[in-house]
Amino acid sequence: MITKQAAKAVVDAYEQANNRANRLRDEKLLATVEAGQVNEQSRADYKQWSTWSATRQKEYGGAFFYQDRTYYIPRAGSADWFAVRATSSYGERQESLLIFDKAAGTYKLTMAFYTPRGEPFPKIAVDRDGFVQVAQPSQKVGSLAPSELGSVYEDFFESGGTKKAAKAFAATDASKDSTKVYRERNEGKLSTYLTKKFFSQEPAHPTVYALKLAGGGVVAGFPTAHTQERMLKPQYMSSFQIGPNDEEAVYNRSKRTVITDEFQGQGLAQMSQKAKPKVLTIEYRMVDSR
């Protein structure tokens, strides 16, 4: 499908263009090397740049590189995408899994995951010729298929996991953090006046990527999305309005009785026939507020 040398050139070109685009906040340049859910999040970063601290702006605009790379390339005919495992020079030098897929006829980064520090990365299965095996997103691995991960995961936000997510997923730091968002949704000084709810929605880019693991199982990169709604309680609607925070004001500065924020995310899960899926990492960006 692609040689390691050509895959290396794709990643090198991504680094160069991404570093320049981040420094200039150039969406058009970034779109030449990036697509999918990761691009949704990057464009949101550019949009909200003015709300960041000077320290964060400096870090984000600085150059970074992917080092110690391992290329996971499927056999020709089995997939049109490939993955790269690497260590990022950015921040805490976390281990990363990058997905490059064809978009508009060229390979672009479509998903990127930073695995938790100290968490052993699942071992990808490689055949005797060095090729990886792609898993079908629609095929169940235990109780869920990779293509079902996103919609089921969103139940952590909608109900705290009580309807289906807590039973479907193994408890991880990622799932605990998501449950905490639900549990604390109506805390704070404004809780007297408004309520906060979450609603699952279709991700902007629905493609799921899955690779088979050594010893069985699958590692899957999945898209996910939800909206967050803050609404004044009925008794206050005629007298008050909600002021948007700095990030929300980038999209809509007006005060209103309901503020709806859209979040686009991407997650990485380890799946097994004999155990619940384990979400290793998940990350969201607010991409709109209305």
At 16-48, the pLDDT tens digits run 999 999 999 999 999 999 999 999 999 999 999
Model confidence band, residue 92 (pLDDT cutoffs 50, 70, 90) = low
Buried b (16+ CB within 10 A) or exposed e, 255-278: ebeebbbbbbbbbbbbbbeeebbb
Question: Is the predicted pLDDT of residue 91 greater than 70, yes or no?
Answer: no
Model confidence band, residue 111 (pLDDT cutoffs 50, 70, 90) = very high
Quote the percentage of the chain above a pLDDT of 90: 90
pTM of the predicted model as reported, rounded to 2 decimal places:
0.94
Q: Tell me: the pLDDT tens digits for 152-163?
A: 999 999 999 999
What mean pLDDT is predicted for residues 108-112?
98
* Average pLDDT of the residues of the chain: 95
For the CA atoms of 87, 176, 153, 43, the dihedral, rounded to the nearest 10 degrees, stands at -50
Total domains present in the chain: 1
Question: Is the predicted pLDDT of residue 98 greater than 80, yes or no?
Answer: yes
pLDDT at 279 (0 to 100): 96
CB of 32 closer than 8 Å to CB of 16: no
pLDDT at 117 (0 to 100): 72
Looking at per-residue pLDDT, the higher value among 59 and 90 belongs to: 59
pLDDT at 93 (0 to 100): 62
Domain range spanning residue 10? 4-289
* Residue whose token pair is 């999209």: 251
What mean pLDDT is predicted for residues 10-15?
98
What mean pLDDT is predicted for residues 64-79?
94
pLDDT at 189 (0 to 100): 82
What mean pLDDT is predicted for residues 127-142?
95
CB of 219 closer than 8 Å to CB of 279: no
Q: Which helix (H) or strand (E) holds 65?
A: none
What is the radius of gyration, based on Cα positions, of the chain?
20
Question: What CA–CA distances, in Å, run from 204 to 102, 148, 218?
Answer: 17, 15, 24
pLDDT at 115 (0 to 100): 84
Dihedral over Cα of 67, 132, 280, 221: its sign: positive
- Quick one: tokens of 155? 């139940």
HSE-CB for 210 with a 13 A CA cutoff: 26
Q: Which helix (H) or strand (E) holds 63?
A: none
HSE-CB for 261 with a 13 A CA cutoff: 20
Quote the percentage of the chain above a pLDDT of 70: 98
Model confidence band, residue 89 (pLDDT cutoffs 50, 70, 90) = confident
- Distance, CA of 118 to chain centre: 20
Q: Which helix (H) or strand (E) holds 269?
A: strand 258-271
- Quick one: tokens of 274? 């004999």
